[in-house]
Chains A and B, each alone.
Chain A
Amino acid sequence: MGSLILRRLIATIPVLLLVTAGVFALIHLTPGDPIDAMMAESVDDAVKREMRRELGLDRPLYLQYATWMGRLLQGDLGRSIRNSEPVIQNVGRRIRPSLQLAGLAMAISLLVATPIGILSAARRNSALDRVGTSFALFGICMPNFLIALLLIFVFGVTLRWLPISGYVDPLEEPWDGLRSLALPAITLGLALAAVITRTLRSSMLEALSEDYIRTARAKGLSDGAVIRRHALKNALIPVVTVLGLQLGTLIGGAVITEYVFALPGVGRLVVDAVFARDYPLVQGVVLLIAVGFIVSNLMVDLLYGWIDPRIRHR
């Protein structure tokens, strides 16, 4: 296991280097002058010159990259142009709602997908299965923002059960906090549930056709015990893989969900920074998201090795 972790960590280094180079290059891809794009025309030339100097844009490219990397290694991700606060502080303020949203969405998706996926597979080709597969198809083809607006329309506007925007921290006010996160978490959770349902159904079908299931049935185990103890355990492995593959989609979905429900999370921060053309902030947040994404993928890989001994020993 130790060597697996080490191997994966070493393989990550060149990718991380390329990622930083890509994020660094971002600001230079702007057609025209990035400072002109960031600041209004009315801004004084002297201010623009100062900004150019501060961002180091007046120096050769390799020097800019070296300085930027040097700062990065010291944990300095740069400063936002809008509020001149360090990127880290900007993100730090926004991370809590995003993590709460992701955690709740993940819980909802598992709660919804596990029974549907299992029942769909156990009662293959029944009416129940058709409902399950239709649900999966619906969730996969439906864009996040449309699910969000449907939920707002039904539960926010028509029935008036739940708030449609704003954020209350559930750690401070549990009831109001959960209510404020309910619709966003369901939006994100349903989309994820669709993918998990589909995967779980097909991996359950595969597991149920194995010889050891026939053996388990032959020795007189009940249907429930066969599914719980023998089929489900083996069917969960592909689900973990898919969860890992879906992380990126989950993050993207969170960006949209936070935007629709006006949640002050990291996703919303990216969108706002893009609109304000606050390039240093865009660079910093995108880099942090990418690194977070790489680290979580790494963890999923390791988790996979931990669940399935066959992979560990390869």
Chain B
Amino acid sequence: MAGSIPGSGTADPATLVAPAATPALRERRWEILRRAARARLAPFGAAVMLLAIAVALLAPVVAPHDPLKQNLNRTLARPDRIHLMGTDNVGRDVLSRVIWGTRVSLVAGFGSVIIAVLSGGLLGLLAGYASGRVDNLVMRLMDAVLSFPPLVLALALGAVLGAGLTGVVIALGVVYTPTFARLTRGQVLTITAREYVDAARALGAPGWRIAWTHVLPNATAPIVVQASLSVAFAILAEASLSFLGLGVQPPQASWGSMINAGRGYLQQAPWIVFGPGAALFVTVVGLNFVGDAVRDALDPRLRA
């Protein structure tokens, strides 16, 4: 469900725990890749994701026109051979703006999830390891963050951080942090109860080494699954905030702000809305397929 900031629920934390690095590891990785590729819609999702990344990186090369250049003689022009997606109310090429907007979306999607994984991972590690009072404090703090409806929290944070991509990425990073903190903490608690951690402890390994060499590598699978599913939702969230006027500021192109600007011309020039709308929808669907495939590959038990 979108428009809001969904996906802050966690995947089942009781997921697989791989044995510590063994010679069979490389074989296992192949098996995971094979399983991911077998998922029905994964190839489509992967193609969309790769295309989006390529377009974002090569925006200056692939965009047919300058995304900011206005042409007041050709406003609201229908899609034709020169402007494949038509032009907007000040004569800017919609396709070129969609292409440049890909950058904003991907930076927001991946950027905020990276922030959330790092901060949530650290907090979860801390909570799971320290236990007792620290654990309690960290987890209540995460509960407090989760007590705000995600979009409302992002709006409030965006209000004080100021509009712009950086503010949005930080705000969304904060919104998604508790998800990863809870997930990591759960993993730490499960893994530290395992015999191989007892063995490492008995051998006198210091706490940080156990965390680094045993806990972290084994906790990654569910975190990767959650992260890959969260990126799509973060992209939707950025578009929603930009749509409300809090994300990237004009004239810079973002899918959400383009859609908001175009809604006044829905009757004369629906392409201003539906061009970026289609890009947003296809990207989110594609990333969802990739997320599902990653989940199926890393944990077949969760398969729907």
- A and B: interacting chains: yes
Nearest CB to that of A31 among chain B residues?
A: B162
Flag B1-17 by CB within 8 Å of A: 1 or 0 each: 11111101100000000
B residues less than 8 Å from A305 (CB atoms): none
CB distance from B42 to the nearest CB of A (A): 14
B residues less than 8 Å from A289 (CB atoms): 148-149, 152
Nearest CB to that of A254 among chain B residues?
A: B4
B residues less than 8 Å from A112 (CB atoms): none
Q: Say what secondary structure dominates the interface of chain A.
A: helix
Do residues A249 and B4 form an inter-chain contact, with CB atoms below 8 A? yes
Q: How many angstroms from the CA of A157 to the CA of B270 in the assembled complex?
A: 11
Q: How many angstroms from the CA of A152 to the CA of B128 in the assembled complex?
A: 49
Cβ-Cβ contact count across A and B, 8 Å cutoff: 176
Q: How many angstroms from the CA of A137 to the CA of B282 in the assembled complex?
A: 11
Residue from A145, A195, A251 within 8 A of B243 (CB atoms): A145
CB distance from A265 to the nearest CB of B (A): 13
- Known contacts A19-B144, A270-B155, A286-B148; decide if A144 and B2 are in contact (CB<8 Å): yes
Q: How many angstroms from the CA of A23 to the CA of B145 in the assembled complex?
A: 10
Q: Say what secondary structure dominates the interface of chain B.
A: helix
Cβ < 8 Å to A, chain B residues 1-59: 1-6, 8-9
A142 within 8 A of partner (CB): yes
B115 within 8 A of partner (CB): no
Cβ < 8 Å to A, chain B residues 224-268: 232, 236, 239-240, 243-246, 256, 259-260, 263, 266-267
- Chain A contact-residue range equals 35 or more
Flag A257-290 by CB within 8 Å of B: 1 or 0 each: 1011000000000110011010100100010011
Q: How many angstroms from the CA of A16 to the CA of B246 in the assembled complex?
A: 27
Complex A-B, nearest 8 residue pairs according to Cβ-Cβ distance, in ascending order: A144-B3, A252-B4, A252-B151, A18-B144, A248-B149, A251-B149, A143-B2, A274-B159
Chain A residues with CB under 8 Å of chain B are 14-16, 18-19, 22-23, 26-27, 29-31, 137, 139-147, 149, 152-153, 157, 191-192, 194-195, 202, 245-253, 255-257, 259-260, 270-271, 274-275, 277, 279, 282, 286, 289-290, 293-294
